[in-house]
Structure 1
Amino acid sequence: MTRAVVKQYDFVTAFLNAPTDREIFMEQPQGHVKRGYEDWVCLLKRSIYGLRQSPRNWNSTLHLALVEFGFQRCIKDEALYWIRVESRLVLLPIYVDDILIIGCEEDVDFIAGKLMARFNMKELGTVNYLLGLQIEYKPERHVIFRQTKYVQDIMQKFHMDAAYPVSIPMTTDAVKLIPATEDEQKRDERLPYRSLVGCLQYLVSGSRPELATAIRILSKFLNKYSAVHWRAAKRVLRYLIGSQDMGLHYDLVEARKREKLHIEVYTDANFASEGGDMKSVSGFTVYCNGQLISAKSWKQDIIAESTCEAELIAANTGAHDAVWLEQLVDELQLPRVATELYCDSSSVRELMKHAGKHRRTKQLRIKDLKIREHVAENGMIVKPVASKENVADMLTKPLPVETFRRHRACVQAGVQP
């Protein structure tokens, strides 16, 4: 799939293609009541819009059609279908009534033709906008995901389009933010704080993973916020003003230099940094051939008793994401080399390979030691990384300007430390 095309298609009135899965009656629709039979009802034959089970019925109908055409649904991602056409891989991800077909142009057009013969489907050309993401796809060079228009819409919604830009989304002292008192909450409850944080969360899940730490911290105060938290949230908007065209850049030239897929995961933790409850924060990034696949920042669900335990929890969770990607790659029958996990804690690296001293580690949860199995049996390779070069550090706490910019380059453009 060296020079794959990526075409987008839309099913017209998709739900109406699906039969109902049970007998459903409804009142005669307004304007179509049969005179003399006003008390009669209609028996539905199709899954109309507004019916609770219509999305599921449509998904089942599309699934049966794709299986009939020879596609297989991925076990690790049920929204992704694949098929081999004379050893050439064709991918078909779906989202309700939107699909992409990815492969050589001849195969893509052939499969699209079969679907069009079965369903009323429109071709939208090479993908450029999907699920709120602006997509720039140049097969010879790169793929870029941006949300510039979405950012501009947020600016206008919250009247921040003329604000002064800043270099980082959150200052390093923002971890000292505390919940508002009842008086402060009552005084400032009309501030659209929740709405703004919700808008920013969509950016994190789309094309701006460098915002993950800021949004995680702001999300802690959704029920107890004040003007102080509102100013911190508006600072994220001021950061976006100066970086609204940024996004995720995937260098296809660099990725194709490797004959086999190479998965890498960076993990880190910030011990006992979550204020009063003393819980730690974890972060990880997963790359494939140097290109970012996933990133996450989250508060751990238990109180770790040491930095080592906090780092182990982070490493184990990051490894789970990498293993999921391994299994997906294997399912698609793509060649890969052993996954590499980078951790800046020497004690954790040793613990992942050996049992260690029982007295100091006997409190560790069984599930957090699952990573030993990945290392011992699945061939995952544990490697050291300097703390200042660990990109996952930006997902555990707010960073100063220069460090933030260096790590941002790693997540946005796949620039390895």
Structure 2
Amino acid sequence: MLLTVYVDDLLLMGTSQRCEAVAAQLATSFELVALGPVKYLLGVEVVVDRELSTVFFSQAAYIEELLRRFHMKDCRGVSTPEGGTSEIEQERVDATQIDTLPYREIIGALQYLVSGSRPDIAHVVRRLGQYMSNYGADHFAQAKRVLRYLKTTKDFGLKMNVTGSAEVELLRLEAYSDADYANDQQDRQSISGYVTMLNGSVVSYGSRKQGLNAQSTMEAEYVAMNEGARDVMWLRGLCDELMWKYAVPTLWCDNTAAISLFKRPGKHNGSKHIENRYHYVRNLGERELIAVRHCRTDQMAADIFTKPLARIEFAQFREMLGVCRRDQQGGAVEAEDDRAASVCMVVMFAAK
């Protein structure tokens, strides 16, 4: 069984007998309040569907509260969180204007959504977060556009497919990495995006500025590969700790030049300047701890984390991440046998 702890929230996962035994043991040292099968965890709604073998994570109630809080409840919705260009002017504002715009509050709230169940807004929230101390009307308008998108998709959440241990011998660990070369209009740095999956379900993702000026698209993609490799190795270590068996992790990349650099050790004219730390992914390959494979650009799930996308493309990549409407998965099944009770039990504790 598994036990996770966050401050005074405990999540027990296992058979009902084991959960009850562990809870009873903890109760000898702490005051416990048993909350039954998990429905909410850290503000995220959790819907377990045994018929479809899925778990659905949603923050719809939180989104509704945001729309009310920032007076956007009756706004007109949009189909994408950002427009077709990544350029936002870096505009200085005076202290009076800063005090009148709740920009920081909106971005902070959006960051919580990104960390919980909404990877589809990770790129735009990262980009807007760059201007927390230097924003203006354009930035505020873009932040409100994200809220308008959330108005349209408030019932969307992150769906994970559940596979029983008896159905698979080796878990499939995968990471997708991508980059948008010289994306930032201010400093011309590239943006890395990555998403890590366990048996096809998203478990980790990120959108980050690279912090260096890549000299080519190949270099930007290679740096992004390093981000993806680090994340999938974290998942590999977690599986080791849980004693889960898995196949060699796969890192997917859509740039053949970057893959060629991964496979060819040594220094080359176009890459000899690349810092040693970014060759971490190559070292993993040489030790056969990771495999790098090519995928088509239209199958690159991390593309959504690197740049704004048009409506149709955005919807396609969003679907790849498992972000969908709640009604696309069946309702939760409240079975009463031991198998149902083994879903989760959530208990809270406080020291005596």
Regarding TM over 0.5, the answer is yes
Task: Say whether residues 1:164 and 2:76 are aligned partners.
Answer: yes
Which stretches of structure 1, 4 residues or more, deviate above 4 A after TM superposition? 185-189, 253-257
Q: Is the 8 A contact 2:93 2:135 kept in 1?
A: no
- Tell me, in whole angstroms, the C-alpha distance in 1 between the residues paired with 2:206 and 2:54: 24
Question: What corresponds to 1:244 in structure 2?
Answer: 154
Task: Say whether residues 1:355 and 2:261 are aligned partners.
Answer: no
Which range moved further: 404-413 or 352-361? Answer: 352-361
- Tell me, in whole angstroms, the C-alpha distance in 2 between the residues paired with 1:381 and 1:250: 24
Structure 1 residues 301 and 121: alpha-carbon distance in aligned structure 2, compared to 1, 3 A threshold: same
CA displacement at 1:261 relative to structure 2: 0.7
Alignment of 1:146-185 (within 5 A): 146-173=58-85, 175-182=86-93
What's the TM-score once normalised by structure 2's chain length? Answer: 0.88
**Aligned to 2:81, what secondary structure does the other structure show?**
coil
Q: Which residue of 244, 268, 273 maps to 2:178?
A: 268
Q: Which residue of 228, 241, 248 maps to 2:138?
A: 228
- Tell me, in whole angstroms, the C-alpha distance in 2 between the residues paired with 1:222 and 1:118: 44
- Tell me, in whole angstroms, the C-alpha distance in 2 between the residues paired with 1:295 and 1:187: 34
Q: Which residue of 299, 302, 312 maps to 1:402?
A: 312
CA displacement at 1:188 relative to structure 2: 5.8
Question: What corresponds to 1:107 in structure 2?
Answer: 18
Counterpart residue identity of residue 149, structure 1: A
CA displacement at 1:357 relative to structure 2: 4.9
Task: Say whether residues 1:213 and 2:123 are aligned partners.
Answer: yes
CA displacement at 1:285 relative to structure 2: 0.4
- Tell me, in whole angstroms, the C-alpha distance in 2 between the residues paired with 1:242 and 1:267: 28
Q: Which runs of 5+ in 2 are unaligned?
A: 325-352
Structure 1 residues 151 and 283: alpha-carbon distance in aligned structure 2, compared to 1, 3 A threshold: same
Structure 1 residues 193 and 275: alpha-carbon distance in aligned structure 2, compared to 1, 3 A threshold: same
Cα deviations by residue, 1:278-326 (Å, 9 ceiling, x for unpaired):
1100000000001001010010111111111111111011100100110
Cα deviations by residue, 1:4-48 (Å, 9 ceiling, x for unpaired):
xxxxxxxxxxxxxxxxxxxxxxxxxxxxxxxxxxxxxxxxxxxxx
Task: Say whether residues 1:201 and 2:74 are aligned partners.
Answer: no
Superposed CA RMSD in Å reads 1.8
CA displacement at 1:412 relative to structure 2: 2.3
Structure 1 residues 190 and 255: alpha-carbon distance in aligned structure 2, compared to 1, 3 A threshold: farther
**Aligned to 1:322, what secondary structure does the other structure show?**
helix
How many residue pairs match? The answer is 323
- Tell me, in whole angstroms, the C-alpha distance in 2 between the residues paired with 1:298 and 1:247: 22
**Aligned to 2:78, what secondary structure does the other structure show?**
coil
Task: Say whether residues 1:121 and 2:32 are aligned partners.
Answer: yes
CA displacement at 1:180 relative to structure 2: 1.1
The structure that has the greater radius of gyration is 1
- Tell me, in whole angstroms, the C-alpha distance in 2 between the residues paired with 1:187 and 1:138: 48
Higher relative contact order (CA 8 A, sep 6+): 2
- Tell me, in whole angstroms, the C-alpha distance in 2 between the residues paired with 1:329 and 1:252: 16
Question: What corresponds to 1:307 in structure 2?
Answer: 217
- Tell me, in whole angstroms, the C-alpha distance in 1 between the residues paired with 2:166 and 2:128: 39
Alignment of 1:249-398 (within 5 A): 249-252=159-162, 257-355=167-265, 357-398=267-308
CA displacement at 1:182 relative to structure 2: 4.2
Question: What corresponds to 1:36 in structure 2?
Answer: none
Q: Is the 8 A contact 2:87 2:184 kept in 1?
A: no
Question: What corresponds to 1:133 in structure 2?
Answer: 44
CA displacement at 1:138 relative to structure 2: 3.1
CA displacement at 1:407 relative to structure 2: 0.5
CA displacement at 1:170 relative to structure 2: 0.4
Q: Which runs of 5+ in 1 are unaligned?
A: 1-89
Counterpart residue identity of residue 36, structure 2: G
Q: Is the 8 A contact 2:193 2:206 kept in 1?
A: yes
Counterpart residue identity of residue 143, structure 1: V
What's the TM-score once normalised by structure 1's chain length? Answer: 0.74
Structure 1 residues 182 and 146: alpha-carbon distance in aligned structure 2, compared to 1, 3 A threshold: closer
- Tell me, in whole angstroms, the C-alpha distance in 2 between the residues paired with 1:115 and 1:219: 41
CA displacement at 1:258 relative to structure 2: 2.9
